[in-house]
Chains A and B, each alone.
Chain A
Amino acid sequence: MSFWTQTIEIARIDLRVERRLGDTLRIVLPFAVVALLVFPLALGIELAVISRIGPAVFWALGILFGMQVALRQSVTDSQERRDLHALAGVDPAARFVGRIISGGVLMMVFLLVLFLAMVLLYGPALPEGSWSTMLISSALFSVGLAELGTLAGEVTTGLRNRTALASLIVAPLALPLVIGASQSLEALSRGTGILTWVLLMAVTDLTLAVVGVGLARPLEEATR
């Protein structure tokens, strides 16, 4: 079977499993919205401050809860499922790309709903072009975090403290994504260009994609 047929099938099944389990939309997302609600309580009800910190809180929660979305596969993945795919002749690179697609889609939905909640709860003064900037930033952030989550899941396969270790790998490596995403909205507010920050995220995504596809086969073999 062709690379893309396998990739799309892996992504499709991953999304179907997620729809049935509901980890992202029924568990992670409500908790993230509750965290949005709780955050201002620590600062007191000072509307000007709350309005100003809204986007920063959004990205902080985006990375914290987004890691749960990105790493959900490492919880559901099993040796039997990996064997099933290996003996069906699935290219490990197709598996990697398929998981990035499904993880990226979920992350994007998660971030968009969280952003809407932030706008409603914090009422930030968003400059013109914020929505399109937010869409671009979210897309690049989602792909990058999905890549990191998939890579970390593969590296930690078979380890006892897999989920905790995977989080420790993802958090520091996601730094360029968090900086790029948060600074693009900031740059828009300051009236400076967002290109630098978009490029930072795009280069990070591309690097992770090349590394992930290149390492998919040796990683899968090494972690059996």
Chain B
Amino acid sequence: MDLVQLSKVGVSLGGKPVLRDIDFVLKPGQIMGISGLNGSGKTTLLRILSTLLRIREGSGVVLDANIDSNDVFIVRPLIGMIGHKPALIGELTLHENLLHVARLTGVEEKKVGAVLAVVGLDEASDRRADASSFGMQRRIEVAHLLLTRPRLLLLDEATSGLDSSARDLIAALTERVVGDGGGVVTVSHDQARLAESCDNTMSLTEGRLELVS
């Protein structure tokens, strides 16, 4: 059974078509890379895959949920996303951010300390998120996804601006999701890097998706 299946999906934002006739399939264990220039619709596509953006044309299924139905509320906790901006509450400490996620998702709170150590932030855990560097904020997002173990991982330029150790953490997270039988979609404007790290790559040009390899 495919993790994701989109058929003839089209999206317009502010009256302007952003994605057209998108056909897309992601299988368990697959890492799919999507490249495209800035403004080509990569982030919009990821938001559709995350079920956070409703489609206007076509149909789609994500983790067995029709993306145009209320079933998306059931599968959303199985989707993990690292977007352009870190999804953290700036006024909370790094530790509190993780605790908040653990409490909302029902993960055991004692696991928070362990994942903080895995991402190398156990000694900086009392620092407020809005006073932490971009790299630290990214590490907390990785820690969040290590806690919640998503089946579908969506990475939106997730490694840009990160040092090699933080990039290794994201690679390890990707491996774990794939190892658990999940799938990963990663978008970047760097096609060469995607070709190295993904099973297949696609290119998004003027709202249309084409298979590259």
Q: Is the Cβ of B52 less than 8 Å from the Cβ of A89?
A: no
Q: Which residue of B lies closest to A92 (CB)?
A: B73
Are B91 and A17 in touch, CB under 8 angstroms?
yes
**A224/B53 contact (C-beta < 8 A), A83-B83, A89-B77 known:** yes
Residue in A1, A76, A86 whose CB lies within 8 Å of B76: A86
A-contacting 9-mer, from B22-30, B57-65, B100-108: B100-108
What interface size band does chain A fall in? 20 to 34
B89 CB-CB contact with A under 8 Å: yes
Is the interface on chain B under 10, 10 to 19, 20 to 34, or 35 or more residues? 20 to 34
Cα distance A89–B80 in the bound complex, in angstroms:
11
Query: Are the C-beta atoms of B104 and A9 separated by less than 8 Å?
Result: yes
- CB–CB B52/A83 < 8 A: yes
Chain B residues with CB below 8 A from A76, complex form: 91
Complex Cα distance, B77 from A86, in Å, reads 8
Assess whether B135 is interfacial by the CB under 8 Å rule: no
Most chain A beta-carbon neighbours within 10 Å: one of B79, B81, B83, B103: B103
| Contact A84/B87 with A16-B92, A89-B73, A221-B54 known, Cβ cut-off 8 Å | yes
Q: How far is the CB of A35 from chain B (nearest CB, A)?
A: 27
Please, which residues of chain B bring their CB within 8 A of the CB of A160?
Answer: none
- Say whether A88 contacts B104, CB under 8 Å: yes
A13 pairs with B87, CB closer than 8 A: no
What are the interface flags for B131-150 relative to A under an 8 Å C-beta threshold, 1 for contact and 0 otherwise?
Answer: 00000000000000000100
Sample (14) of A-B pairs whose CB atoms are under 8 Å apart: A1-B106, A5-B106, A6-B104, A9-B104, A13-B96, A80-B87, A81-B87, A83-B52, A83-B83, A84-B88, A84-B89, A85-B104, A88-B76, A89-B76
